[in-house]
Amino acid sequence: MIAGAQMRAARALLGLDQRDLARLSGLSLPTIQRMESSEGSVRAVVDSLEKVVDALNAAGVELIADGAPSAGVGRGVRLIARSEKRRPLHVA
């Protein structure tokens, strides 16, 4: 499953807005908006989730499941579980 925050982050990495993702995935703008506003895992029809994941993958983003290793190469972002968060770094 993917989270709404993951979808928003993936779009940001790609420089896409919600309309772009709707067009790339073949879904409606309201569907993308609803999916992205989900707290935690996105609740949607499996076919719709697959379309979003496929569109993001084709555009160049690997979505990483919680606890899964990344098989890809290149830059990326992963959230740290709350219990693992460290104090912020202070840059001088």
Digit-coded pLDDT (tens) for 20-29: 999 999 999 9
Contacts (Cβ under 8 Å, ≥6 apart) of 26 = 51, 55
How far apart, in whole angstroms, are the C-alpha atoms of residue 6 and residue 12? 10
For the chain, domains (ranges, CATH) are 1-66+75-92 (1.10.260.40)
Give the pLDDT confidence score for residue 92 in this predicted structure.
53
Per the CB < 8 A criterion, the answer to whether 60 and 14 are in contact is: yes
Give the pLDDT confidence score for residue 26 in this predicted structure.
98
> 8: exposed, middle or buried (C-beta count within 10 Å: 0-12, 13-18, 19+)?
middle
pTM of the model: 0.77
